[in-house]
Amino acid sequence: MKAAVDPALRAATAQSFEALCAWAVQARATPLPEAIRRRAALVLMDDLGAIVAASTEPEIAAARKRAAKPGGSAKATIFAKGAARVPVAEAAAMNGMAVAWAELDEGYRLAPCHAGAYILPALLAAAEAEEASVDDVIQCLAIAYDITGRFARAFPFATMTVHPHAAFATVGAASGIALLRNLDNAAFSRALSGAASMTPAGPYAHAIDGALIRNAWSAAGAWIGLQSVDWALCGIGGIPETAYDVFATCLGTDARPQELSDRLGTIWAIEDGYHKIFACCQYAHSALEASLALHQRVGPDAPQNIERIVVETHPRGLTLTGVEPATVLAAKFSMPHALAAVAVRKTGGKNAFANDTLSDPAIAALRHKVELKPYAPLAPWPNDRPGRVTWVMKDGSSHSAECANARGGADQPFDETTLLEKLQDNCAAIFPMMPDNLRLILAGDPEIGKKPWRDAVAQMVGE
């Protein structure tokens, strides 16, 4: 049911939206603080690695084969073996399809949102085609990340109905491209509002059900973002009230206009991002950390001696209920699968969510012995996503471990060495030169910053 329109709130949201657009245009002309530049470089590094890690998935390879057809202008790179160059929109869509497929991309901790995954596929393709610099990419990413994170905070869903990959991908992609092309205030507003007007209502439950179209929402968002900017330059776009009309009125979110404009340039959303080492939904990470602690305590014979697993988790963890995941996506959004797989395979990485785990008899049997319970009492952020795991053994004994808050967020971030090792694991087999080149970008050498992004890509893929 469509929500009632609050005229005062709609007007306040439009005013804050216009302030956000004006700030973004001004910020594009201002150097980034060094800490923000480095955070943006980490997001670039992590999400590029996630794209490459997913590039060997059979569905991704099949989609890529259809995209890389003869004809058209080959201006942007698909980050997969062979590094095909295709038109910008096709590269953006294919990299957008891959970026969140493996669930190894970064995310935003203050609201459901994977801003980097929404921004980078379109931004990287356009930057390569338009001869933007490495510094341009980093700066546009940081500012667009702020816009996207602010949208996620300004329009929160009361329950997980629309998936964030659908809700905010168009906004992220349009922001990055509009910044790259240095749109003025009016055009920026048209582009961003126009993109918001084309937000799809992708069901959150599709992730739990394993519908692989969920991984295409960021691809569609990349395409829409590119088109929104092109159309804005022709005078075609939305209005400042569009964001309120789409999210609060059509999708039924709350509206918090102050989140769009409060302390612009003082607080940066990218500082509140998180990174993953577990290849699944972040809502399961605290339970996985507790499970790995149990492995250390109980010893190597634990997997064959577990009778059942009791998981006490936060409300969003309780939504991950699938017991018979049909796809790897469903496995990544299944608490029973995640807890069974980490118990059997002693890892929460890619090997716990690979295709063969869906039919692994030991994991399949244990999935049916996982019991989910509410964790109580819940603590405030950042300890609002806890996990307590109890292994009840066949001899009647039990062992419990608890994690108040999974690592990877701003409060307990992974060190850069850990993230560089993750990058190496994700992409070195396909692009051996990519880790070292991204490491140099992270270090911030001014000469590398001035280099055309096209040249940086050519070095990363070995041309």
pLDDT in tens, 136-153: 999 999 999 999 999 999
The phi-psi region of residue 275 (left if phi > 0; otherwise alpha if psi is between -120 and 50; otherwise beta) is beta
pLDDT given at position 69: 67
**Which among 428, 434, 50, 23 is positioned nearest to 218, based on CA atoms?**
50
pLDDT given at position 71: 62
Does the pLDDT of residue 68 top 80, yes or no? no
Mean pLDDT of 15-22: 98
Do residues 143 and 179 make contact, with C-beta atoms less than 8 angstroms apart?
A: yes
Dihedral sign computed on CA atoms, order 256, 261, 263, 267: positive
pLDDT given at position 442: 96
CA 125/CA 159 separation, integer angstroms: 34
pLDDT in tens, 409-421: 988 999 999 999 9
CA 309/CA 370 separation, integer angstroms: 5
Does the pLDDT of residue 256 top 70, yes or no? yes
Mean pLDDT of the chain: 96
pLDDT given at position 184: 98
Mean pLDDT of 250-272: 97
Mean pLDDT of 88-114: 97
Does the pLDDT of residue 423 top 80, yes or no? yes
The residues, ordered by sequence, that sit 6+ positions from 314 with a Cβ below 8 Å of its Cβ are: 283, 286, 374, 375, 378, 384, 385, 386, 387
pTM: 0.95
- Quote the strand ranges of 184-293, DSSP E: 273-274
Mean pLDDT of 30-52: 97
Dihedral sign computed on CA atoms, order 77, 220, 267, 42: negative
Mean pLDDT of 101-118: 97
Mean pLDDT of 248-261: 97
pLDDT given at position 74: 85
Mean pLDDT of 431-440: 97
pLDDT given at position 2: 57
Percent of the chain at pLDDT exceeding 70: 98
pLDDT given at position 23: 98
Do residues 180 and 126 make contact, with C-beta atoms less than 8 angstroms apart?
A: yes
Does the pLDDT of residue 264 top 90, yes or no? yes
**Considering all CA atoms of the chain, what is the largest pairwise distance in Å, rounded to the nearest integer?**
72
Buried b (16+ CB within 10 A) or exposed e, 348-381: bbbebbeeebbebebbbebbebbebeebeeeeee
pLDDT in tens, 199-218: 999 999 999 999 999 999 99
CA 17/CA 11 separation, integer angstroms: 10
pLDDT given at position 66: 83
Q: How confident is the model at residue 4 (pLDDT cuts 50, 70, 90)?
A: confident
* Alpha-carbon 181 to chain mean position: 24
Q: Name the more confident of 299 and 167.
A: 167
In the chain the domains, ranked by start, together with CATH numbers, are 7-274 (1.10.4100.10), 282-403 (3.30.1330.120)
pLDDT in tens, 53-65: 999 999 999 999 8
CA 404/CA 63 separation, integer angstroms: 40
Does 377 sit behind a cis peptide bond, omega within 30 degrees of 0 on the bond before it? yes
The pairing of beta strand 370-374 with beta strand 306-313: parallel
Dihedral sign computed on CA atoms, order 323, 328, 333, 339: positive
CA 293/CA 362 separation, integer angstroms: 20
Mean pLDDT of 330-359: 96
